[in-house]
Homo-oligomer: A and B are copies of this chain.
Amino acid sequence: MFTGLSAFPLTPITGERVDERAFAGLIERLADAGVDSITALGSTGSYAYLSREERAAVARLAVRGAGAVPVMAGIGALRTRHVLEAAEDAQNAGVAAVLLAPLSYQALTEEDVVGLYETVTANLSVPLVVYDNPGTTHFTFTDELYARIAGLPRVASIKIPGVPAKRDEAAARIARLRASLPAGVTVGVSGDALASTGLNAGCQAWYSVIGGTLPQVALEITRAAERGEPGAATEASQRLQPLWDLFARHGSLRVISAIAELLGLVGRPNLPLPIRGLGDAARSEVAGVVDRLRLR
């Protein structure tokens, strides 16, 4: 479950409510495409904005719709107590694993973060993915901290925020990181633009934004890397360069939200306020790229 393509679907929000029908449609699409796992309630799934009740409902819908595909759910919250509640709800919903980022308002120390993961893993009965996303959490892991937390029971994988762009540097980075982790703990790349680089460098999983909305495109890259065809993985990713450029300019969430709208998968708007979708000019650019790359 902690290898291959993990697809991160949007949680579409329309009229301040989760659009459960559209969400169920996204999950069905992912299950049909044959992704290796579905991570509901990732950053792309806006977990940090949802109420406890909404998160529980989304986890239940994902498990129900995913069939045989394992479902993971993000359980992050600013307060440890609320993380434990989200973990309980996700497990009651039947998720196969949970994903935990150290959210911060006040800056966290390393000891705070170790304490968080100790408390949460001690109260879990499913595996946990360590979710390192400094752009949203404003907490920076060191490799020593990864290793310390990876030694806790139930830690199964680490979602790293990216790899160096150069092939040799990426390979060295992943080799160094893997050497410091217990053998059973996988390393998964995020940051879609460099995912092919990460997979070719030895990352065993891709925790993927585009995988949640454009699973076929993400599977093409993933399967090529898995077959030991790094050139094919790189080429498939390079074809998407106009999409990576949009991600860099507008952020992956707003762009993937607009793509899902354009494909008719979700309504408009679909992000939780105060986050607004892209303006008309940026949406036109996105529509142009969707057409040109024949994204679907």
Contact = CB atoms under 8 A, between A and B. Distances in A.
Contacts of A79: 49-50, 272-274
A276 B275 CA distance: 31
A107 B16 CA distance: 20
Contacts of A272: 78-81
A194 B22 CA distance: 51
25 contacts: A48-B78, A48-B105, A49-B78, A49-B79, A49-B105, A50-B79, A51-B82, A78-B272, A79-B272, A79-B274, A80-B273, A80-B274, A102-B274, A103-B105, A106-B251, A106-B253, A107-B135, A108-B275, A111-B279, A112-B274, A115-B273, A115-B274, A119-B273, A119-B274, A138-B138
Chain B CB count within 10 A is highest, among A48, A78, A105, for A105
Contacts of A103: 105
A45 to B, nearest CB: 12
A87 interface: no
B276 A115 contact: yes
A274 B113 contact: yes
Contacts of A251: 106-107
Interface string A80-118: 111000000000000000000011011111011101100
A136 interface: yes
A43 interface: yes
Interface string A6-25: 00000000001000000000
Interface string A158-174: 00000000000000000
Contact of A43 (B106, B136, B138, B276): B106
Nearest to A104: B136
B273 A116 contact: yes
A50 to B, nearest CB: 8
B112 A275 contact: yes
Given A49-B78, A136-B105, A251-B106, A112 B43 contact: no
Contacts of A105: 43, 48-49, 103, 136
Interface string A266-279: 00000011111001
Contacts of A108: 274-275
Nearest to A276: B112
Interface string A248-286: 000101000000000000000000111110010000000
Interface in A117-166: 119, 135-136, 138
A106 B48 CA distance: 9
Given A79-B272, A80-B274, 18 more contacts: A43-B105, A43-B106, A49-B78, A49-B105, A51-B82, A78-B272, A80-B272, A80-B273, A81-B273, A102-B274, A106-B136, A106-B253, A107-B251, A108-B275, A115-B273, A115-B276, A116-B273, A116-B274
